Structure 1
């Protein structure tokens, strides 16, 4: 058995966990990044080998700490969940993130976004989705051999289903909507909490009605016994 040793040059390289750039430029961009990331986490919560991250540095090549990008959201199939300071691809079975999301806002500049596209194309992203907050437009690319080719979809990809994620995209007057494979819509934490509160209220009401029914039943039994009738013999 041959053991492959890491070269001293590579082992001494430091891969920063922070590139000095903010996660987002405004509250809407931040909200969407968190919304996509957290809902994908929820969607694949039961699969231990789907890793989802937001605003995480991705280094594709060992020994080169200058070559990196930070997808707003990325999903990686085939590598376990867990903490990372950065995504160092050579430590992940050399698995590149298969899906990347970017949220375009007025604070983004064109040149870095073009650079990101070429990076994703070169280093193995299978699906790339770019959502424009101002125009409420979604553009997607899918890998065809060595290239990312734009997805040809009527009405700005309305109804497109991601092959990897199984997620359906829908565009409305209010913006981007996404649905899981079970057609459950992606929700914000506030919406999920509201549903939880409603479920708890329904459960409490059902328990209260059950308790009222128990009280009525006990009262009836007492009345029957007062009349000399044993309820168990009826």
Structure 2
């Protein structure tokens, strides 16, 4: 146990009590505290803590309580041995949570509720996971008053929504995402990683198919070009053959004309060209 010294008055960092009485209570404390950390991770002036002693009055270390989870708006993040309110611009935690266990007594919880009422808490939530029972209190002009309809209640400060199903409390962030345990977050992250890997594989397959199509199209273009060239060669050969045939026809015509002239000359000389 570490002990801090402030004007010769000791403000212990621990009250010697365990954080939780059982695994179920501990699991809920961690679930709420860590998800609140995630919710306000990008806001440097929101401090979230679990099982941290809160001293509201300087000089009175006996006046203290350790909420299972607390949120203080307007206070920087960082490590603390305890929450000494006079060192925190006299800002009291605005929201606190208590997770009940079978060891909690009604008198003890009444004292805590009075403490939170006396020292400025704006919202106070109590959840009993064994009985799946949720209570909430919100500050009015006359102090903390019970929230009459807690089902689907949205916290004014946190923006989170409380939904009591038949068996369990469900908490939802302002964006609609539910509070998840570390295991669930890891499973979601692994599933997301697998989906991303599958998408990468599908994208690579599509790229390969596109490349194959491109290559086939290129081959088809090359084949078409080859066939065009062959057709052009055939046309040129046909044209050449036509020209040769035409030349042969011309030569034959010339030979015929020479033969006719020769025959005419012979007949003029009285010679029968047919004899």
The answer to whether the 8 A contact 1:121-1:146 is kept is no
CA RMSD of aligned residues (A): 1.8
Q: What secondary structure, in the 3-state scheme, does the structure 2 residue paired with 1:143 have?
A: strand
Shift in Å at residue 12 of structure 1?
1.5
Q: Which SS does the other structure have where 1:190 is aligned? A: helix
Q: How many residues align?
A: 219
Q: CA shift at 1:228, angstroms? A: 6.4
1:175 maps to which of 160, 168, 173: 168
Structure number with greater CO (CA < 8 Å, separation at least 6) is: 1
CA distance in 2 between counterparts of 1:123 and 1:185 reads 31
The reply on whether 1:88 has 2:101 as its aligned counterpart is: no
- Give ranges in structure 1 of 5+ residues lacking alignment: 1-8
Residue matched to 2:60: 64
Counterpart of 1:115 in structure 2 is 111
* Pair 1:48 & 2:44 matched: yes
Q: Distance in 2 between matches of 1:22 and 1:186?
A: 24
Residue 144 of structure 1 deviates from its aligned partner by 1.5
Q: Please give the alpha-carbon distance, in whole angstroms, between the structure 2 residues aligned to 1:129 and 1:213.
A: 52
Q: Distance in 2 between matches of 1:93 and 1:214?
A: 59
TM-score of the aligned structures, taking structure 1 as reference length: 0.88
Q: Of the two, which has the highest radius of gyration?
A: 2
Could you list the per-position Cα deviations for residues 85-143 of structure 1 after superposition, in whole angstroms to 9, with x for gaps in the alignment?
Answer: 11011111100000111111101122222211111111110111111223211111111
Query: Which of structure 1's runs of 4+ aligned residues deviate more than 3 A?
Result: 217-228
Deviation at 1:149, TM superposition (A): 1.1
**Which secondary structure does the structure 2 equivalent of 1:229 belong to?**
helix
Equivalent in the alignment of 1:187: 180
Residue deviations 1:72-95 (CA, integer Å, cap 9, x gap): 011111101111111011111100
5+ residue gaps, structure 2, are 224-275
Distance in 2 of aligned mates of 1:120 and 1:73? 13
Of Structure 1 and Structure 2, the greater helix share is in 2
1:39 to 28, 32, 35: 35
3-state DSSP class of the match of 2:126?
strand
